[in-house]
Every structure is written in C-alpha cells, then in structure tokens.
Amino acid sequence: MLSTTSEYALRMMILLTEADGAPTTCATLSDGGRIPQQYASKVLNQLRRGGLVKGQRGRYGGFVIGCDSSTTTLLDVVNVIEPLQRITKCPLGRSEHSASLCPLQSQIDTAIASLESSLAQLTLRQLVDQAENLPLCRAEPIVSTVSTSGKIV
C-alpha cells in the first residue's frame, strides 16, 4: 500500500538516522538503500522541501537529517512524499453507497487506517535503536568518512 517513492524515502531516512548527523552523499544513500541514484536524488529533493533533510554543498557536503529523529514518525516521512489516501466515498460513485462504504471498500479503508496507525506509532530513532539486526536488509551499516583528500567516501 506504500508507493515505491515512499519506501525509498523511508530507507534513506533510516540511513540518515543511522549516520547520526554525518553528511552522507546521494550515491552512498542510493547504494545503501538499493535505490537507483537518479530516483534517490529526486526523493531527497522532496524530503528536503518537506524539511526532513538538509543538503550541504561543497567539500564535506552531503545530506543530513533535518528533523528530530526521536519525534519524526514513519508516517511523517510518508506524508511528505505521498500521504495515504483514506476511502471516504464509493470509488464507483454508486448512489446506494452514498451513506456508507460497501464492505469491500470499508475493509480496504480499515487496512489503510491500520497502516497509518502503525506508521504513526514508530519514530525513526525507535526503529534504528530497537532493531535487533540492522534496520535495513544489508550486510553492514553505511558509514560516511572523509578521506585524506577531503572527499566523502
């Protein structure tokens, strides 16, 4: 029920939470989240416009988390990208369903409400801190370091 773009945004926000303020390049986030780099760049721009990340240009540039990861929920991230759409009226426009949703649409809306509630209950920091394994499916955490030439690797 989440769009690919929302999924990618969540992956990158988790990686930035793990980076704990260290600037992380788009290429590093793309690799770590297994996201095509051009797509990652577009998603990072949406997150930046939404105030969730900050971009730093220059020698020690990259992206850093621009929000408080201990209060920003997974739903906050999804809402910046593509808010979940609740079903409030019959998508078929049937007059017999004007007073209430049909059982199918009602069930789908209940599932959306459940997802919305679940995402709202977990912050980025909680997900990172509570994970028994790494929060994302990868072998090792992404670590941004600055090489002797000043380049972020």
What is the C-alpha separation between 65 and 91, in angstroms, rounded?
A: 38
pLDDT over 80 (residue 1): no
Model confidence pLDDT, tens digit, residues 63-91 = 999 999 999 999 999 999 999 988 877 77
Model confidence pLDDT, tens digit, residues 103-134 = 888 888 899 999 999 999 999 999 998 876 66
Please name the residue that has the structure tokens 């029920």: 1
Reduced DSSP (H G I as helix, E B as strand, rest coil) percent helix, strand, coil of the chain, to 5: 50, 10, 45
Model confidence pLDDT, tens digit, residues 35-60 = 999 999 999 999 999 999 999 887 77
Q: How far is CA 138 from CA 32, 62, 80, 82, 141, in A?
A: 7, 21, 25, 26, 7
Residue 151 pLDDT grade (very low, low, confident, very high; cuts 50, 70, 90): very low
Q: Rounded mean pLDDT of the chain?
A: 85
pLDDT score recorded for residue 79: 97
What the chain holds in terms of domains, given with CATH numbers, is 4-130 (1.10.10.10)
pLDDT score recorded for residue 93: 66
